[in-house]
Structure 1
Amino acid sequence: MLIGEVSRRSGVSARMLRHYESLGLVRPSGRTGSGYREYSAEDIRRIFHIESLRSLGLSLREIGRALDDPGFTASALVDDLIRQTSDRIAAETELLRRLRRIRSAEPAGWEDVLRVVALLQALGSKSADARQRAALSSGEEVPVPVEALVEAVLGETEPNVAGALRWALARAGDGGTALLAEGLGSPAAAVRERAVRSLAEMPGDEAATRLRGALADPEFAVRAIAALALGARGVADAVPTLIDMIVVGRNDTDAADALGALATDTATADRIATALADRLAHDITEAPARGRLTQALADIPGATATRALGELSHDGDRAVALTAAYLLRLREAG
């Protein structure tokens, strides 16, 4: 079969067939009397093998080895192709992500594009100072991609840089709230904690809703941050976790202050006072925890808290009784 017919049947151009021949990949088995290349059935089969291997991404040199080297291992070749393809996909995915972030900043011209690129590079710098400067300067000249800020804040371990990133994210608007919520689903407790810290500084009802969900987190530190943030927003759902914080002595003063701030109406004040009294009556045996719970009643107004303090003034734990009696006198004097 002559080269033109082979090209037509195989879909490989005559020029490429000559290139294959120059590389030694396929050699026509014969020549016609006029000197034209003549391909046998075996030659054509080899051409199809070459094209099949090219479709897998092999270079022509690798194809030559695969077809001619008896010691060439097919499984090793496939494993290497998988690795190369995975690396290429990862690189292309990262490039696509970066391009989308640049587009989301809506650059007006190449100067804006270059500024966004520089900002993204700084946010990913190994230098904490560079990352902090990037966070503090974000949004000054061009809008910073919110996705980049969220990614940075969820991965940041340096407290000062994390604070700057949370500040920048809060300035960027509500767009980061949903992305931060994805961080709450991370299997890593540290990532969930960073997410809830960031949500605590985000305005709006959506952030409050996400924080409510964080009250069920298996990690106490995550629940505690969410509870303090919700307490500051006047959300009474935080009460049980705030009381837990007082019991374990973790940010207990802040938790007691939050309970006091929540007790703005009679119903909520009575609910908090009852919950504190129940913990004292049933759950708490260690003296320091009982003392902290008693002290927390000081900032809770209303008859229920006063009655609880009256009962505690006769408590078998002398320290608790003295604290309760002192708090009662302060109420009477007030």
Structure 2
Amino acid sequence: MTMSEEGTNTKRVRRGLESGDPSVRLQAVLAIGTAPDPELVGELVERCAVEPDFYVRDMLTWALTRHPASMTVPALLAEVRSERAQARSQALHTLSKIGDRRAWPAITRELLADADDEVARSAWRAAVVLVPEGGEPGLAAVLATQLGRGGRETRLSLSRALIALGEAVVPVLRAAATGPDPRVRAHAIATERLLHDPDAGFEAAVEEAKRIMALGATGREE
């Protein structure tokens, strides 16, 4: 392909990224990922912050993983500090897929407790991938501060993140299981059960946690 043809192709792909048709945007991102173009890394990252279609966002992440981490990670780290929740969430998600541990210092307590559930969930997933060896107990302690948060999907995401840290989470889960907040206690008990019995299922683990709490409160089975 000549330089002129490459330039024409790049322009066509750029127009595709801005199309109002999600299928056209999807094809444009697929083309970039198939034939990585360093000139388009910035535009891929920028598109992540505003792309409304889930499948296109997923393809954007894939396309970014096809480029050198030395180019993508700095751009994504800048987005992690964005005021836009989607920019933070998608950047964290992509960093978790790239898996470059140089990004670990960017996973702050503020992100792990972000007010936006999607950002927090992405931060939890990124944290367990990027945490350096030996950092698991400290991360577990921070993640445990989020126990009891949000609805089912948010609580399940946190449980999965904690479980991914292995036995390092047991002390913080047991401490949380004796706390004053019943939602936190139930979530902690359910998470520890899932840690030791992954086939139990989240709903069953929560119901078992509630039963254990009821027994503790009454001293007898109802």
> Shorter-chain TM-score: which interval?
0.7 to 0.9
SS of residue paired to 1:316: helix
Structure 2: which amino acid aligns with 1:247?
Answer: G
Relative contact order higher in (CA < 8 Å, ≥ 6 apart): 2
Alignment of 1:73-152 (within 5 A): 109-141=3-35, 143-144=37-38, 145-152=40-47
Structure 2: which amino acid aligns with 1:191?
Answer: A
Alpha-carbon separation, structure 1, partners of 2:35 and 2:92: 28
Q: Is the 8 A contact 2:159 2:191 kept in 1?
A: yes
Could you tell me which residue of structure 2 aligns to residue 164 of structure 1?
A: 59
**Unmatched 5+ residue regions in structure 2?**
197-208
SS of residue paired to 1:155: coil
Q: Give the CA deviation at 1:125.
A: 1.3
**Unmatched 5+ residue regions in structure 1?**
1-106, 302-308, 323-334
Identity of aligned residues (%): 20
Q: Sort the Cα spacing of 1:216 and 1:284 in 2 relative to 1 into closer, same or farther, 3 A.
A: closer
Confirm whether residue 263 of structure 1 aligns to residue 166 of structure 2: yes
Q: Sort the Cα spacing of 1:256 and 1:216 in 2 relative to 1 into closer, same or farther, 3 A.
A: closer
Structure 2: which amino acid aligns with 1:292?
Answer: H
State the Cα RMSD in Å.
3.1
> What is the aligned counterpart of 1:297 among 172, 192, 212?
192
Q: Is the 8 A contact 1:231 1:258 kept in 2?
A: yes
- Deviations along 1:174-216, one digit per CA (max 9) or x if unpaired, are 1121112222222222322222222222221123332346325
Could you tell me which residue of structure 1 aligns to residue 199 of structure 2?
A: none
Could you tell me which residue of structure 2 aligns to residue 71 of structure 1?
A: none
Q: Give the CA deviation at 1:280.
A: 2.6
Structure 2: which amino acid aligns with 1:194?
Answer: Q
Alpha-carbon separation, structure 2, partners of 1:230 and 1:285: 26
Alpha-carbon separation, structure 1, partners of 2:104 and 2:74: 12
Alignment of 1:170-189 (within 5 A): 170-174=65-69, 175-189=71-85
Confirm whether residue 284 of structure 1 aligns to residue 181 of structure 2: yes
> What is the aligned counterpart of 1:228 among 107, 125, 132?
125
Structure 2: which amino acid aligns with 1:162?
Answer: R
Alpha-carbon separation, structure 2, partners of 1:274 and 1:119: 51
Alpha-carbon separation, structure 2, partners of 1:247 and 1:173: 38
Q: Sort the Cα spacing of 1:115 and 1:204 in 2 relative to 1 into closer, same or farther, 3 A.
A: same
- Deviations along 1:236-276, one digit per CA (max 9) or x if unpaired, are 24424543554124433343233233125xxx2xxx22322
Could you tell me which residue of structure 2 aligns to residue 46 of structure 1?
A: none
Aligned pairs, number: 198
Q: Mark the structure with the bigger radius of gyration.
A: 1
Alpha-carbon separation, structure 1, partners of 2:176 and 2:148: 9
Alignment of 1:183-332 (within 5 A): 183-212=79-108, 214-215=111-112, 217-233=114-130, 236=136, 237-240=138-141, 242-248=143-149, 249=151, 250-264=153-167, 268=168, 272-286=169-183, 289-300=184-195, 315-316=216-217
Q: Give the CA deviation at 1:119.
A: 0.9
Alpha-carbon separation, structure 2, partners of 1:228 and 1:240: 15
User: With structure 1 as the length reference, what TM-score do the two structures score?
Assistant: 0.51
Q: Give the CA deviation at 1:159.
A: 0.8
User: With structure 2 as the length reference, what TM-score do the two structures score?
Assistant: 0.74
Q: Give the CA deviation at 1:141.
A: 4.3
Q: Is the 8 A contact 1:242 1:259 kept in 2?
A: yes
Structure 1: which amino acid aligns with 2:112?
Answer: L
Q: Is the 8 A contact 2:96 2:129 kept in 1?
A: no
- Deviations along 1:124-153, one digit per CA (max 9) or x if unpaired, are 111111111111121434625211111111
